[in-house]
């Protein structure tokens, strides 16, 4: 595969949020402000990059039977590093992200990239893959956050917008708004790709746990 394709694949064709439907929890939760969305996106990209590099480096050292615990340890420690750095140097962001900062450790996008890509490819490709998926994740977050902040809070990156600031639609800032905006964007993705992009069923296909479980998939397929 060409380098360029590896890089761009995560941004458009296999966008982790809009196409693969992964990592929805942070996407929905921190997308009320565009600023926080960028912060979350960058923090996640950092962890993704770190874990992809290390896992790619160690791909011949880690025995396959213990690869899952190894990934868990590596990903969660990169998360802890990011958490400490953000608390020290970007405290407002630290407060805004709250519990979703440590939760990067359970973001299935990172796990999926480690299992599917980094454990089988060289460092250069793994870096490109991480950057691609990270940017794709950040852009998706930013898109949702922009809609929610403009409509829900009447501002953009904290700057109040004329008229909108006096006519906010509060539901967009609250929980249901997150679901609605994501649903509408996915519907657009569906429409543009003529139903191809999100054709697959929700659930196990993209779930990295499916690798360690595999059983649930059979059950789901059976029903």
Partner 1 sequence: MKQTYVMPLIVLTVICLVVSAALAVMDSLTAPIILAANAQRAAEAMTAKIPHATGFEAVDIESFDEMPRSIREVYNTTNNVGYIFIASANGFSGAITVICAIDNDGKIIATSTLSHTETIGIGTIIEQESFLGPFSNQDYNLHGIDTVTGATISTKAYIGIVKEIFEAFHLIIG
Partner 2 sequence: MEFDFKSLVIIMMSAVLVNNYVLRQFLGVCPFLGVSKDLKSSAGMGLSVLFVMIMAAAATWPIQVYLLTPNGLGFMQTVVFILIIATLVQLVEVVLRKFLPAIFASLGIYLPLMTTNCAVFAVTISNINNEYTFIEALVSAVGAGLGFLLAMVIFTGVREQTAAADPPEAFKGIPITLISAAILSLAFFAFEGVIENLFK
Beta carbons of 125 and 6 less than 8 angstroms apart: yes
**Strand 159-160, strand 155-156: pairing:** antiparallel
113-136-172-97 Cα dihedral, nearest 10 degrees: 60
Beta carbons of 130 and 48 less than 8 angstroms apart: yes
Identity of the residue, 109 or 150, whose beta carbon is nearer to partner 2 in the bound complex = 109
Q: Does 188 bind partner 1 (CB under 8 A)?
A: no
Identity of the residue, 62 or 127, whose beta carbon is nearer to partner 1 in the bound complex = 62
Task: State the burial class of residue 188 (Cβ atoms within 10 Å of its Cβ: 0-12, 13-18, 19+).
Answer: exposed
The interface with partner 2 within residues 156-215 (CB under 8 A) comprises 171, 174-180, 182-184, 186-188, 190-191, 195, 198-199, 201-204, 207-209, 212-213, 215
Sort residue 98 into left (φ over 0), alpha (ψ -120 to 50) or beta: left
Cα-trace Rg, the chain: 18
Q: Which stretch binds partner 1 (CB under 8 A): 3-11, 36-44, 81-89, 183-191?
A: 81-89
CB of 78 to partner 2, least distance (A): 10
The interface with partner 1 within residues 161-180 (CB under 8 A) comprises 170, 173-174
Residues engaged in binding partner 2 (CB under 8 A): 21-22, 24-26, 28-29, 68-69, 72-73, 76-77, 79-80, 83-84, 99, 102-103, 105-108, 111, 171, 174-180, 182-184, 186-188, 190-191, 195, 198-199, 201-204, 207-209, 212-213, 215-216, 219-220, 223
């Amino acid at each position: 595969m060409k380098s360029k394709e590896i890089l761009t694949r995560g941004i458009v064709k296999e966008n982790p949020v809009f196409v693969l439907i992964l990592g929805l929890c942070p996407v929905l939760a921190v997308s009320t402000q565009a600023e926080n969305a960028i912060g979350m996106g960058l923090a996640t990209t950092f962890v993704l990059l770190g874990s992809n590099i290390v896992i790619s480096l160690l791909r011949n050292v880690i025995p396959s039977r213990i690869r899952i615990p190894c990934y868990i340890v590596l990903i969660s420690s990169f998360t802890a590093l990011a958490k400490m750095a953000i608390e020290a140097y970007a405290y407002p962001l630290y407060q805004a992200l709250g519990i979703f900062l440590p939760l990067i450790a359970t973001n299935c996008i990172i796990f999926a990239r480690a299992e599917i890509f980094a454990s089988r490819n060289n460092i250069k490709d793994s870096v490109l893959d991480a950057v691609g998926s990270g940017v794709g994740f950040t852009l998706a977050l930013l898109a949702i956050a922009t809609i929610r902040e403009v409509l829900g809070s009447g501002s953009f990156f904290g700057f109040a917008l004329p008229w909108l600031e006096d006519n906010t639609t509060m539901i967009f800032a609250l929980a249901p708004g997150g679901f609605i905006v994501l649903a509408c964007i996915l519907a657009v993705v569906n429409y543009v790709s003529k139903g191809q992009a999100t054709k697959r069923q929700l659930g196990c296909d993209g779930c990295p746990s499916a690798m360690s479980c595999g059983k649930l998939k059979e059950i789901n397929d059976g029903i």
